[in-house]
Structure 1
């Protein structure tokens, strides 16, 4: 009986996830469906990246090793309420390397970009695997640069 309940809850979770992504991305079969806003590949700073968090802007971007990925299609994971929402609009490299969702591992946006030099070999390997995951699933939309190195949009 407990096994059936667990299986039912897992199925319910996956149906909700698929439905949420379908609704947030629009009906792909509809001719009325137009992209929200095309983001041209560009240069981001921690400050300009911050707005792409799924709350302040409909697009969701995450930086990994100074490359910015558009993870909007994975909004159930990276958007508001998702398990990785702390990484949205941020440099997620250290958190991914440490396999930690704790916001305290993220570099504040007003500080220099984390150089990750103190990572242990196992943490570097974890980050490499995450980077490969993002490369295989999401489009690179730009690169991450120090604040002040790129003129802020604001």
Structure 2
């Protein structure tokens, strides 16, 4: 078989570009696509992923909120807590996700369990004051290892216990404080919805108990209370729907207490 000359190759390329020699055009497209995908795969693999920079910060959350990050919700990260420091272990979902060998750690505080090297769910707490020196050393080793591998995304904090009067202080006027509201005594942090619930928002609910208002689909501040007397089945369904939406969208930070 005679090898084509340079001029013949140039003419063949021009013909391919002009739509002639369809078999050659298809071959050229295939080879070009293959080379592009190979180079792209090499480039992607060569890039270092900064987990700390890419992780979503959850900030200060209470234990019941941490429990929502147990790997069962595909829209949430998988988190664990180590002496109150929250780590995003989503990169290790094969171990911490559902069915993984450490799945029972997800969404929990695991200091005691790691110190004792136990898989008992009862040891998923931050109680370490009775651990032996050897167990505390084991815990410290785990802390060093896990914090080097997974990004820190927040802290576990105690739930707030606020009176209605104290809740008023979280109405959005003080920029140093989060924007809070309550539904049937459960307090939600709605700061991420400041355009709706902040001082200039369309819903005047911040700093109030809003159960009746949500049931009535009312924006009257006079309806911002927990009195559900006289409400019908449809209105109570409205309230349950709003509670479900808030539980999904906004973090719970505590509960109301009597004056």
Give the TM-score taking structure 2 as reference length: 0.40
1:132 equivalent in structure 2: 144
Q: Quick one: higher RCO (CA 8 Å, sep 6+), 1 or 2?
A: 1
Deviation at 1:39, TM superposition (A): 2.3
Q: What does 1:91-110 align with in structure 2 at a 5 Å threshold?
A: 91-107=109-125
User: Take 1:101 and 1:54, find their aligned partners in 2: how far apart are those partners?
Assistant: 18
Q: Residue in 2 aligned with 1:62?
A: 80
Q: Distance in 1 between the 2:134 and 2:55 partners?
A: 37
SS at match of 2:122: helix
Alpha-carbon offset, residue 115 of structure 1? 3.9
Q: Secondary structure at the match of 1:119?
A: coil
1:145 aligns with 2:145: no
Aligned counterparts of 1:100 and 1:128: Cα–Cα separation in 2: 15
Between structure 1 and structure 2, the one with the greater Rg is 2
Q: 1:69 to 1:104 in 2, by over 3 A?
A: same
Structure number with higher helix proportion: 2
Could you tell me which residue of structure 2 aligns to residue 81 of structure 1?
99
Detail structure 1 runs of 4+ shifted over 6 Å in the superposition. none
Deviations 1:81-121 (A, max 9, x none): 111111100001111111111112124xxxxxx34211111
Q: Check 1:121–1:85 CA distance in 2 against 1; reply closer, same or farther (3 A cut).
A: same
Between stretches 140-149 and 82-91, larger displacement belongs to 140-149
> Where do 5+ consecutive residues of structure 1 fail to align?
1-28, 30-36, 108-113
